[in-house]
Amino acid sequence: MAVVTSAAGAPHRYLQAQTRWGVIEIMFWIATLAPFVLFPSYLVLMSQIAITALFALSLDLILGYAGLVSLGHAAYFGIGAYTAGLISKAGWGEPLSGLLIAALAAGLFGYVTSFIVVRFRHLALIMITLGLGLMLVEAANSASWLTGGADGLQGVKMWPLFGHIQFDLYGYAAYTYSLIVLFLVFLAMRRLTNSPFGLSLRGIRENAVRMPAVGAPSLSRLRTIYTISAVIAGVAGALLAQTTETVSLETLGFQRSADLLVMLILGGTGRLYGGMLGAVIYMVARDQFSGINPQYWYFWMGLLLVAVVIFLPNGMLGGLARLISRWRSAS
Amino acid sequence: MLATHGLDKRFGSLVVAAGIELAIPKGARYALIGPNGAGKTTLINLVTGMVQPDSGRIVLDGEDITGLEPAMRVKRGLVRTFQINTLFPNLSPLEAVTLAVCERHGDAGTWWRSLPTYEQAIEEAYGILTMLVLGADCNRPTRQLAYGQQRLLEIALALASKPKVLLLDEPAAGVPKDESGELFKAVAGISSDITVLFIEHDMDVVFRFATRIIVMVAGRILVEGAPEQIASDPRVREVYLGRAHHG
């Protein structure tokens, strides 16, 4: 076993090394540019993957770092999507300001609900987030004068990005736009998770009883991260609404919340990249398997999920990290 | 420094604290002893705010803190350790103690600055860990530490909050007697500015460290006094020899 000792006099060096950009990380982000060259006909799918990855990132913040599990996170995604769609329908199609307003709306709902959510854990928390999600779907369904109900929101029309770049049929602008937003949010969240605040979230996850005994106001910290997570989910939803120019009830639905949890578990929680990797695997698998057999493709997803949970309890990235550390200590 | 007035607590019909009066002066070393179930840990829970008293007041440094949240009491210098390890299994000791230092400095809500830039806080945390001979293992996950090391980390975490009053709940609980030396060296090394109240079953340790001893039985303070008084008190002998306590 590799015992890591800190060099005397510079204990912060070891912590610093952990927050440094790794080669694999840089390669990952370079690889996100590859589709422009390698699969230009898949850019629409890639844009949806980037949006889903952003959504997964938002869940990882509360589940992977703070230990709050949710089966209703699509609520914030859907609010972002509907807000962005409605603003455009009302005649304001400027994407960036629309994104901002959608983020605010989702964040506001996140902040309000956080007062209930952070008081619970485990099964109770799953049920509460599930219940909130279900309520929102039906509220949106019944308010069909506003949302279009089961038919979805029609008539969303986006203006060009920065007044010049038109959203095109091939997803070129959509993927560029989604990828840039994903990357910027990722940078901010990478900083957040490496900050004292991020450390205190991990503290809450690791031992909620100890936190007050070190003087930490756990509940207000949890409310903060829950709100931030809702904002990011809202941004992801808004991106989907803006790039597809339609919003359906499905954006709020239970299936989306459940799929999101599946992606995060597949990829691995508490590493930011886990959710993104999960999103890639899930979306590509859906695209490929549903091409072979559109009815039964969930079978393979289920199989993969069971296998990962049994053999890689920390997800695929967790398994990979273990492999790398074993390889390093052996060499 | 720390005082309680008429502290009462019942769990249903079980009286766990009845009329508890404490008056602990600054820098004192108080031992809290008594048979299992006497209410020693409950008293710590009451004083730190983890359990709310039914009635009574708690005063720290002249200020009434009875209604304060546990975290706010810690900020005012009332800090505890736990009898059962209450640590962060997947954080390293350096991360855990740095977290406690950042909380004390009011930096732990900051999300836009990277943790390694808080060199002073990390340095301070490392200093505490070195003092408690955890320096060499400070970057391993806590769950990998030996049990005795985890007991030391309990104390390190408490010291990181710069306590004025430190409540140690059986610091050596579960550590074999011949291995507890390191722990009691750490306890003995605690600055004399800090007021210490500790729960301990080992009478050798109690008589070695305590300047005053409080004996609790069935939720009440039976007697409080200097070690030699306690040693010769017939009621205490009764309790510890078990004659009066079968009922």
Cβ contact B50–A212 (<8 Å) = yes
Partners of B8 in the beta sheet? B55
Q: Which residue has the higher pLDDT, A17 or A196?
A: A196
State the pLDDT at residue A1: 39
User: In this complex, which of B122, B123, B161 lies closest to A214 when CB atoms are compared?
Assistant: B161
Residue of A nearest to B44 (CA): A213
Q: What is the pLDDT of residue A298?
A: 86
Domain at B18, CATH number: 3.40.50.300
Task: Look up residue A223 and give its amino acid.
Answer: R
Query: Between A3, A11, A197, which is nearest B140 by CB?
Result: A3
pLDDT at A133: 96
**Predicted pLDDT of residue A293:** 77
User: Whole-prediction pTM value?
Assistant: 0.94
Contact A215 B82 (CB under 8 A): no
Residue A238 in this model has a pLDDT that exceeds 50: yes
In a domain, A105, yes or no: yes
Specify the higher pLDDT residue, A300 or A215: A215
A194 vs B contacts (CB less than 8 Å) = 114-116
Binning pLDDT at 50, 70 and 90, where does residue A291 land?
confident
Counted domains in chain B = 1
Select from B50, B108, B160 the Cβ nearest to the Cβ of A196.
B108
Residue A164 has pLDDT above 90, yes or no: no
Residue-wise pLDDT for A25-42, tens only, equals 999 999 999 999 999 999
**Residue B145, in any domain of the structure:** yes
The interface predicted TM-score of the complex, written ipTM, equals 0.93
Torsion of CA A170, A173, A177, A180, to 10 degrees: 90
User: Residue A70 falls within a domain, yes or no?
Assistant: yes
**How many domains does chain A divide into?**
1
Q: What pLDDT score does B74 carry? A: 97
How many angstroms separate the Cα of A197 from the Cα of each of A61, A133, B121, B124, B244? 12, 28, 14, 18, 53
Nearest to A214 among B89, B138, B157 (CB): B157
Measured between beta carbons, the chain A residues lying within 8 angstroms of B116 are 12-13, 15-16, 19, 194
Model pLDDT for residues A116-148, shown as the tens digit of each residue: 999 999 999 999 999 999 999 999 999 999 999
**Cβ contact A200–B87 (<8 Å):** no
Residue B6 lies in a domain: yes
The winner for highest mean pLDDT among A191-195, A291-295, B175-179 is: A191-195
With an 8 Å Cβ cutoff, are A224 and B112 in contact? no
Which ranges of chain B have pLDDT less than 50? 244-247
- Per mean pLDDT, which range of A7-11, A80-84, B43-47, B49-53 is the poorest? A7-11
> Which residue matches tokens 């952990």?
A18
Strands B14-24 and B63-64: unpaired
**How far apart are the C-alpha atoms of B135 and B94, rounded to whole Å?**
8
Order across the sheet with B55-60: list the strands: B14-24, B2-11, B55-60, B63-64
At B246 the pLDDT is 46
Nearest CA in chain B to A224: B109
**Region A292-312 average pLDDT:** 88
Residues β-bridged to residue B29: B196
Please, what is the average pLDDT of chain A?
93
Residues in B touching A206 (Cβ below 8 Å): 87-91
Which residues in chain A have their CB less than 8 angstroms from residue B122's CB?
11-12, 15
Q: And the tokens for B27?
A: 């820098």
For residue A315, being part of any structural domain is answered with no
Helix/strand/coil (H, E, C) string of chain B?
Answer: CEEEEEEEEEECCEEEEEEEEEEECCCCEEEEECCCCCCHHHHHHHHHCCCCCCEEEEEECCEECCCCCHHHHHHCCEEECCCCCCCCCCCCHHHHHHHHHHHHHCCCCCCCCCHHHCHHHHHHHHHHHHHCCCHHHCCCCHHHCCHHHHHHHHHHHHHHCCCCEEEEECCCCCCCHHHCHHHHHHHHCCCCCCEEEEECCCHHHHHHHCCEEEEEECCEEEEEECHHHHHHCHHHHHHHHCCCCCC
Mark out chain A residues that contact chain B at CB-CB < 8 A: 3-6, 8, 11-16, 19, 191-192, 194-200, 202-203, 206-207, 209-218, 221, 224
Measured CA to CA, the distance from residue A252 to residue A55 in angstroms comes to 12
Average pLDDT over residues A180-188: 98
CB contact under 8 A, A6 and B138: yes
Question: How many residue pairs from chains A and B have C-beta atoms closer than 8 A?
Answer: 142
Confirm whether B247 is domain-assigned. Answer: no
pLDDT of residue B244: 46
What local confidence, expressed as pLDDT, does residue A5 receive?
46
Q: Is B147 within the bounds of a domain?
A: yes
- pLDDT, mean of residues A256-269: 96
| pLDDT for the residue numbered A7 | 46
Nearest residue on chain A to B96, judged by CA atoms? Answer: A203
Say yes or no to pLDDT of A6 above 50.
no
- List all residues of chain B from 172 to 211 with a beta carbon under 8 Å from chain A: none
What 3 state SS string does chain A have? CCCCCCCCCCHHHHHHHHHCCCHHHHHHHHHCCHHHHHCHHHHHHHHHHHHHHHHHHHHHHHHHHCCCCCCCCHHHHHHHHHHHHHHHHCCCCCHHHHHHHHHHHHHHHHHHHHHHHCCCCHHHHHHHHHHHHHHHHHHHHHCHHHHCHHHCECCCCCCCECCCECCCCCCHHHHHHHHHHHHHHHHHHHHHHCCHHHHHHHHHHHCCCHHHHCCCCHHHHHHHHHHHHHHHHHHHHHHHHHHHCCECHHHHCHHHHHHHHHHHHHHCCCCCHHHHHHHHHHHHHHHHHHHHCCCCHHHHHHHHHHHHHHHCCCHHHHHHHHHHHHHHHHC
Expressed as residue numbers, the domain containing B126 is: 2-241
Name the closest residue on chain A to residue B86, using Cα atoms: A210
Question: Could you list the residue range(s) of the whole structural domain that residue A203 is in?
Answer: 39-253
